[in-house]
Amino acid sequence: MDKENISKFNLPQLEKTTVSSDESNLDILQDVPLTITVEIGRAKMLVKDILKLTVGSVIELDKLAGEPVDILVNGKVIAKGEVIAVNENFGVRILEIVK
């Protein structure tokens, strides 16, 4: 590399800016899609036991009936809730927001 062709480059001075924390900044996030998952429980099973499952099989979960379920947003627990029936659909009523 020829040292004669190298020149110093000066960056312009940047101006200070402030970021406002008002609600208008949150508006840009309002349309970002998130995945909400309700976890009613978990179970560990061997492959051989999974292959034996048929219609009507029962999988025992690690939570008791009536125990609050976890509500996750993008895989992170954000709340606890209870499963409810709304007409013929299931829903979840939020009982507690996790901090």
Domains (range + CATH), the chain: 33-99 (2.30.330.10)
For the whole model, what pTM was predicted?
A: 0.61
Burial 1-27 (b: 16+ CB within 10 A, else e): eeeeeeeeeeeeeeeeeeeeeeeeeee
The mean pLDDT value of the chain amounts to 87
Would you say 80 and 95 are in contact if contact means Cβ atoms under 8 Å apart?
yes
pLDDT tens track for 17-53? 766 666 667 788 888 999 999 998 999 999 999 999 9
